[in-house]
Amino acid sequence: MSNNILGTIQGKSSSTPYNIVSGINDNQVVELIQLTQSDTALASTSDWRKPDGAPGRFSSLDSYQDWFHEGKFNYTLIDPSHNLVGISWFSYDPQTTSGATYGFTFGLRLYGSARGIGLAKPFSRTVSNHFFASSDYLDSPHRGIWLRTGSDNLAAIKTYESLGYRKVKDAEIEGKITMVLQYQSL
Ligand SMILES: CC(C)(COP(=O)(O)OP(=O)(O)OC[C@H]1O[C@@H](n2cnc3c(N)ncnc32)[C@H](O)[C@@H]1OP(=O)(O)O)[C@@H](O)C(=O)NCCC(=O)NCCS
């Protein structure tokens, strides 16, 4: 996918425009690593450190490249000063849960002042619509989506529910529930 603007969104009580872009460039990867290091709200994720203490996926350029080369479809959210303020991705990572196989997982992050102002739903809806129309997705044998999030991460759970995800497993692994999006509900 080439980098291009998919849409412009605003927070609930702000007219600041944020652009949603497919892809991520090298400078933004550096920003992503810096944001991951400085944003303590991400401590429950595996972005900086994995639960076993090993370096997380966004802890360095090397770890980012290892993660990215596994086959990721990235999207970014950019503020009017061209700063990276959000990222989301789909990743082909088939998992069988509750008797069905889900082909992709979905990740979502908003940073700093872009968080908590209502951008999560329009950002994730736009990137989902774009990815679900792509051949990378449509040619896949398993088109359902799965994800895990903290059972107390209400902002994330509400965002995912608004997209049609439903919980299929209570918190079992690292205090995280499993949610899925069925192909037919897309
Ligand atoms: C998860 C995340 C992307 C959500 O983005 P956000 O900007 O905080 O969410 P929003 O402000 O758009 O809020 C989403 C919904 O959750 C609600 N919400 C937010 N915080 C809440 C809370 N503490 N309790 C209850 N509801 C809450 C909002 O009211 C909104 O619902 P509404 O549209 O019905 O009013 C963001 O918090 C984030 O990046 N967190 C750190 C990384 C992370 O946890 N990612 C997900 C891991 S799988």
Distances (CA, A) of 7 to 17, 126, 147, 164: 10, 7, 24, 21
Residue nearest to ligand 1 atom 10, measured at CA: 118
Give the domain CATH number at 177: 3.40.630.30
- For range 91-95, the mean pLDDT: 95
- For range 30-49, the mean pLDDT: 93
Domains identified in the chain, total number: 1
Sheet containing 84-97: give its strands across.
4-9, 18-22, 72-78, 84-97, 100-110, 145-150, 176-181, 166-173
Give residue 8's domain range. Answer: 4-185
Q: Where is 111: in which H helix or E strand?
A: none
Q: How confident is the model at residue 185 (pLDDT cuts 50, 70, 90)?
A: low
Residue 155 DSSP symbol: H
**Ligand 1 atom, smallest distance to 118 CA:** 12
What pLDDT does 174 receive? 78
Q: How confident is the model at residue 175 (pLDDT cuts 50, 70, 90)?
A: confident
SS3 146: strand
**Tens-place pLDDT, residues 150-165:** 999 999 999 999 999 9
| Pocket around ligand 1 at a 6 A CB cut-off | 41-42, 45, 108-110, 115-121, 149, 153-156, 158-159
